[in-house]
Amino acid sequence: MGYLGIDFGSRRIGVAVSHSGEIAEPHSVIARGAELAAAIERIAGLAAEFDAGTIVVGIPRGGRVAPSGNLRLYENFAALLRERVTADVVLWDESYSTTEAASRLHDTGRRRRDVKERIDMLAAAVILQSYLDSRRNEP
């Protein structure tokens, strides 16, 4: 059974996958329009393709600032996704995921502004890897 990681953004949705449940890999970016139906369908298709039993949606819970005022938007997205897929949809703290993805890109010599889509996939991988690591460390 696979996993999907989702970095839900205002313009793009980054997607990461894990076949093994141990390593998260960047996968793709889905354009997010005003209507989420097309993006939800694309994610549902990927969940079926990768036999995802769990979809991990990054949600801003804090970090350097108080929790985001957009939490309701993320929760609504997750609710719509739950209506469409049979996989478990888990909300997971995404604090610093984009910062970490940007740092990784910088370490490879790439600039963040040159790889906007790549950073969304990497942020999704950071979110998913954090979730997978937490499961491995459970007693």
Angle between helices 71-84 and 37-49 (to 10 degrees): 50
For the chain, the distance separating the N- and C-terminal CA atoms, rounded to the nearest angstrom, is 21
Is 128 a residue whose pLDDT tops 80? Answer: yes
Assigned token pair, 7: 């970095």
For the structural domain made of 2-67+90-136, what CATH number should be given?
Answer: 3.30.420.140
Tell me: pLDDT of 94 over 90: no
Residue 118: per-residue pLDDT: 80
User: What is the reported pTM?
Assistant: 0.82
Question: Could you count the other beta carbons within 10 Å of the beta carbon of residue 75?
Answer: 13
Rounded mean pLDDT, 46-66: 83
Token pair, residue 68, equals: 């985001």
| Cα separation, 55 vs 62, whole angstroms | 21
Residue 120 has pLDDT above 80, yes or no: yes
| Tokens encoding 56 | 């991990």
Q: Which residue has the higher pLDDT, 78 or 110?
A: 78
